[in-house]
């Protein structure tokens, strides 16, 4: 039930109709019986700063930020958490008690929590190299998560190698090894983890072209894409015996810190939530 004392948050994007965040936050609000609401905020790019700065005046606890506003939000907020600063983008804004805006990035948290919740108990990222494909914002979050988890080596490959080199330079960690895209098959040798953070394999895009022959069969394979839930990469990896992790959990887990900050409850990612977000009918 929503009353005049209800806590309000939302997701800001342009467009925003495709976002599944209202579904998952709405599920948690109902599940935990919280007096609050989470609403879509369709904000055109030329109104981003105006909309973000209006959050305290409108009584919002904060909001999520999605494409194309993440980098703009990074420049507008009053304070940044360490992950937002390292990744260079904000996906969560929290209105502090004094009305100032705190910018956070929870994508690294969401990626890692999804892995540890799904990976076999015997798997460890510290046992060998990780291979990350892509060099966008998601790849930055993935690399930050793996560095913090103790990955001894991260082999970062992107079709435009200069973008991967930029991530390595920005993060400044010698464990990041930038490789050529046409060497991605060889880069799998000895890896304990393969992460596809590109759009290849998503509905409407071509599948990722990669030969998994060199990848050890006990290596974990994950794809940040969740439409479809089982991408061609995950299907091919599972067929050869590799444990796989789909991308939906990253979406769900990255929402937890924001929900906790806005509504005061640390929500759980459950099978019921997964089923609802995939098919809310």
Alpha-helical runs (H) found in the chain: 21-31, 48-54, 70-76, 82-87, 107-118, 137-148, 161-171, 184-187, 232-239, 248-254, 256-263, 271-278
Tell me if 76 sits within 8 A of 53, measured CB to CB.
yes
SS3 state of residue 127? helix
| Integer Cα distance of 261 and 65 in angstroms | 15
Binding residues for shikimate, by number, are: 19-21, 66, 91, 107, 226, 254
Cβ neighbour number for residue 261 with a 10 Å cutoff: 19
| Integer Cα distance of 265 and 25 in angstroms | 12
The question of whether 70 is a catalytic residue gets the answer yes
Binding residues, by number, are: 19-21, 66, 91, 107, 134-138, 158-163, 224, 226, 247, 254
| Integer Cα distance of 155 and 210 in angstroms | 15
Q: Which two tokens stand for residue 106?
A: 């929870």
Q: Which residue of the set 28, 36, 52, 70 is catalytic?
A: 70
Binding residues for NADP(+), by number, are: 134-138, 158-163, 224, 247
Q: What angle do CA 14, 19, 23 make, to 5 degrees?
A: 145
| Integer Cα distance of 134 and 187 in angstroms | 14
- The residues annotated as belonging to the active site are 70
């Amino acid at each position: 039930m929503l009353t005049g004392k209800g806590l309000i948050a939302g997701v800001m994007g342009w467009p925003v109709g495709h976002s599944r965040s209202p579904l998952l936050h709405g599920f948690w609000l109902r599940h935990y019986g919280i007096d609050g609401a989470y609403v879509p905020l369709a904000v055109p790019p030329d109104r981003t700063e105006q909309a973000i700065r209006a959050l305290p005046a409108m009584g919002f606890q904060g909001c999520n930020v999605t494409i194309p506003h993440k980098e703009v939000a990074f420049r507008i907020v009053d304070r940044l958490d360490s992950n937002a600063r390292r990744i260079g983008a904000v996906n969560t804004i929290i209105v502090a008690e004094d009305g100032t805006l705190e910018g956070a990035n929870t994508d690294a948290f969401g990626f890692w929590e999804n892995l540890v919740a799904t990976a076999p108990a015997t798997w460890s990222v510290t046992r060998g190299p990780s291979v990350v494909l892509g060099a966008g914002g998601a790849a930055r979050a993935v690399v930050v998560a793996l560095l913090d988890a103790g990955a001894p080596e991260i082999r970062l490959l992107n079709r435009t190698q200069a973008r991967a080199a930029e991530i390595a330079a920005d993060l400044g960690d010698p464990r990041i090894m930038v490789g050529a895209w046409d060497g991605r098959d060889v880069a799998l040798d000895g890896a304990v983890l393969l992460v596809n953070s590109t759009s290849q394999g998503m509905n409407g895009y071509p599948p990722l072209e990669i030969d998994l022959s060199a990848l050890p069969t006990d290596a974990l394979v994950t794809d940040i894409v969740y439409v479809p839930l089982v991408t061609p990469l995950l299907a091919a990896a599972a067929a050869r015996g590799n444990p796989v992790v789909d991308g939906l959990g990253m979406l769900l887990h990255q929402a937890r810190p924001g929900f906790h900050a806005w509504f005061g409850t640390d929500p759980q990612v459950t099978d019921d939530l997964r089923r609802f977000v995939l098919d809310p009918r």
